[in-house]
Amino acid sequence: MFSLETALGIVMVVLVAAVAHWSEWLMPVAVLLYLLIVVPTALLCGFWQAVLVSLSAVFAQSYIAARRAELNPVEDPANSITLVAFVLTALLVSRLSSRVTEHAKEAESWGGQMHDLYEFTRRTLQMNLHVEPGPQLAELVHEIFELEAVVVFDADLHQIYQAGQWLTDPHELAQNVYYFETSDDDPETGIGRRVLRLGTIPIGSVVVRGDTGPLTNNAIASLISITFDRYRAFANESHIEAERRTEQLRATVLDGLAHAYKTPLTAIRAASTGLGEMGRLSPAQAELVALIDEQTGLLNDLTTRLLTTARLDSGEVTTHLTPVGVGPLVEEVVASLRDRLASMKVSVELNDENLILCCDRQLMVMLLTQYIDNACKYSLFGSIITIGVVEDHAEMIFSVHSHGPVIPRPDRERIFDRYFRSSLSSNRAAGTGIGLAVAKRAAQIHGGHVWVTSDENLGTTFFASIPTQVQQRYSA
């Protein structure tokens, strides 16, 4: 309590008292000088040191007053008032000084934390997102904030990343914070727990041990969450870009192969047709020529589909929208598949015989051909294939219904994907897996969409909804 500054203050009081006595100053002048000594003492040393200086000033002044008036210092009421005034002044000044000092320390501490947060933010923005950010984040938090230990839990990958030395199992600690969603700070152990969130969705947790406050822990958790989100967004973007390039390469390869096959197929078909027209073939030879001609036709259809698929994917197809009679359109497609439908019964149901659709006729023929051809492959022998068209508000809904193997529910979401084949062996039939994908793209180019329903009792129905007011579209 008694320091060099306090002793200096008392010495200065004694000097002022001596000068006041020798110069015969008035009491207010001396008291003001004493006050100028008490205030700095309260600022620099504190309340109790200022009280000691105040007591020395009161004693000195009362001694001077007693010498002048020959009064008993104890009986002078001015001394008590002066002491109280000095003490109150010392108390007020010391409290203000203490508060200002605390605020300055807090500001300095918060300034340091803000600097650390800025550095952490800067380092996370420069992070290499081609690799998992968890290990880097744990090391950065441990290094920048000078913590004893850090552990980060990524719930998506179910991975734990730690830095520093933990006395308890950090894996269990971090997972408990995530699963029980406990975010708190323990001043005794210095451990801060935070759940990592994206909005309201928990994605992990972070636990730190060291000298950080609640606000800093909140900021650390938020920055880690944002970094995890950036990493996942970057990974998704890279994956999408890789898929786009793969699709572009696939379309280019398909187009090249289809063009390469077209020329020899045309020559083979011309040769087989010429052999068939010669008329001097034996029955066995004629059968072989017919087989060649039939299989060449199938290969030609396949290459045509490949070409169409490649052009649809690359956006090279330009639609030619014209009013088309729906009834004649369906009849044309059924007639083109006459041989395939020979063992089936076909029923066409139109709610209006005069339905007109503004569409690209070639693409709509392709769509209906794929639907009806698919029904032929999987329908039970001798069953009925029902082709329906209904106008509903601003849409024309085409449907092809048949009875055959049920399409499993998981497969219905992917059946229109290119090259996808049903997971059931009973659904296996000759095909390439691109027909329904072509039908889907044809509907999308018209601004429509496709779907399928399948039930053991009700059968399977493929739908295509085409807007009556079609706008050209080239992307899915």
In a domain, 364, yes or no: yes
More confidently predicted of 470 and 94: 94
In a domain, 436, yes or no: yes
CA distance 293 to 287: 10
- The predicted pLDDT at position 127 comes to 83
User: Which one of 315, 330, 361 terminates a domain?
Assistant: 315
In a domain, 140, yes or no: yes
In a domain, 123, yes or no: no
> Is the per-residue pLDDT at 473 higher than 60?
no
Do 137 and 225 share a domain, yes or no?
yes
Do 226 and 307 share a domain, yes or no?
yes
Do 346 and 274 share a domain, yes or no?
no
Do 442 and 346 share a domain, yes or no?
yes
> How would you class 257 by CB atoms within 10 Å of its CB: exposed for 0-12, middle for 13-18, buried for 19 or more?
middle
- The predicted pLDDT at position 69 comes to 58
- Band (pLDDT 50/70/90 cuts) for residue 328 is very high
Phi, psi of 166 (to 5 degrees): -105, 135
Do 92 and 179 share a domain, yes or no?
no
- The predicted pLDDT at position 476 comes to 38
Highest mean pLDDT among 14-18, 336-340, 471-475: 336-340
For residues 372-387, give the mean pLDDT.
Answer: 90
* Whole-number average pLDDT of the chain: 78
Do 138 and 241 share a domain, yes or no?
yes
More confidently predicted of 166 and 433: 166
Do 159 and 292 share a domain, yes or no?
yes
Do 340 and 459 share a domain, yes or no?
yes
In a domain, 51, yes or no: yes
C-alpha angle 197/202/204, rounded to 5°? Answer: 85
User: Which one of 265, 300, 315 terminates a domain?
Assistant: 315
Residue 221's domain spans which residues? 129-315
CA distance 13 to 37: 7
How many other C-beta atoms can be found within 10 angstroms of the C-beta atom of residue 164? 18
Q: Is 416 helix (H, G, I), strand (E, B) or coil?
A: coil
**Range in 272-281, 395-404, 439-448 the model is least confident about:** 272-281
What are 85-139's pLDDT values in tens digits?
Answer: 666 666 666 677 677 667 666 656 556 677 888 888 888 888 888 888 889 999 9
Do 307 and 338 share a domain, yes or no?
no
Residue type, 328: P
CATH number at residue 421: 3.30.565.10
Do 332 and 295 share a domain, yes or no?
no
CA distance 349 to 340: 20
C-alpha angle 29/35/40, rounded to 5°? Answer: 140
How many other C-beta atoms can be found within 10 angstroms of the C-beta atom of residue 389? 22
Q: How many CA atoms lie within 13 A of 300 on its CB side?
A: 14
User: How many domains in the chain?
Assistant: 3
Number of helices (H) and strands (E) in the chain: give both, helices first. 12, 12
Strand-pair partners of 454 = 460
- The predicted pLDDT at position 413 comes to 78
CA distance 11 to 31: 15
Q: Are strands 159-164 and 149-154 parallel, antiparallel or unpaired?
A: antiparallel
Q: Per the structure block, which two tokens stand in for 148? A: 């004893």
Q: Which residue has the tokens 């970094």?
A: 227
In a domain, 329, yes or no: yes
More confidently predicted of 71 and 105: 105
Residue type, 299: L
- Band (pLDDT 50/70/90 cuts) for residue 465 is very high
User: Which one of 315, 338, 370 terminates a domain?
Assistant: 315
Do 87 and 232 share a domain, yes or no?
no
CATH number at residue 261: 3.30.450
> Is the per-residue pLDDT at 372 higher than 90?
yes
What are 130-166's pLDDT values in tens digits?
Answer: 888 889 999 999 989 888 999 999 988 889 999 988 8
> Is the per-residue pLDDT at 1 higher than 60?
no
Do 329 and 248 share a domain, yes or no?
no
In a domain, 116, yes or no: no
In a domain, 451, yes or no: yes
